[in-house]
Amino acid sequence: MVSKVFLGLGSNVGESEVNLRTAIMLIEKNKQVVLINNSSLYETKPYGPVSQNNFYNIVVEIKTEYSPTDLFYFLKEVEQEIGREPAERWGPRSIDIDILLYSDEVVCNDIITIPHKDMLNRDFVILPLLEIEPDIVHPELHEKVNEILISSMEKTIISKKEFRL
């Protein structure tokens, strides 16, 4: 079965835009994944308490035959190939790839939580997601994401630019 998935990617170590392009290229190279769409590239202030460089973030839409858990492990391999090393929570990283939504599934186990548990608190996730899919419905809340009150969300976006692959 093929599932529609949204991934959030971010980088703030090294050449961030190159890291994002490389991650997307490695994801797309996999025969079990088809890249459908991507958002603009967003420069954002770091999220969380750690002092660090600004991030570059993007959301991509894929179709895949992977199960949520198998996709998670594949994406961790992509992160390692780009040079991601274990780091403190919300700390600097060469690449971070999160599964935001996996079709309309809700998954919560020791390995993964989908929808991403913190996505509604992050403007650098919600705005690029809505750029790709303006009417997307949150599978747990059963509401359109663009109608969920997110006024308390920390504003981190500095700029936005077109991102062509």
pLDDT for the residue 152: 62
User: For 113-142, what is each residue's pLDDT tens digit?
Assistant: 999 988 888 889 999 999 999 999 999 989
Residue of 21, 96, 122, 123 marked catalytic:
96
| Rounded alpha-carbon distances, angstroms, from residue 55 to 105, 125, 147 | 28, 12, 26
Cα distance between residue 34 and residue 87, in whole Å: 30
What range does the domain containing 69 cover? 3-161
Q: Please answer whether residues 143 and 126 qualify as being in contact, where contact means their C-beta atoms are separated by less than 8 angstroms.
A: no
Whether the Cβ atoms of residue 153 and residue 144 lie closer than 8 Å to each other: no
- Active-site option among 21, 70, 89, 93: 93
Q: Is 21 a catalytic residue?
A: no
What does the alpha-carbon distance between residue 131 and residue 12 come to, in Å, rounded to a whole number? 22
Show Cβ contacts of residue 151 under 8 Å, excluding neighbours closer than 6 positions: none
Cβ atoms of residues 7 and 36 within 8 Å: no
In the residue annotation, 93 being an active-site residue is answered as yes
Active site residue 123: no
pLDDT tens readout for residues 69-111: 999 999 999 999 998 876 666 678 889 999 999 999 999 999 9
Residue of 21, 84, 122, 123 marked catalytic = 84
Provide the number of structural domains found in the chain: 1
Which of 98, 104, 118, 164 is an active site residue?
A: 98
98 part of the active site: yes
Structure-block tokens of residue 157? 């976006």
- Give the residue-averaged pLDDT of 138-150: 84
Q: Residue 137: which CATH number?
A: 3.30.70.560
CA distance 87 to 46: 15
**Weakest mean pLDDT among 24-28, 57-61, 88-92, 116-120:** 88-92
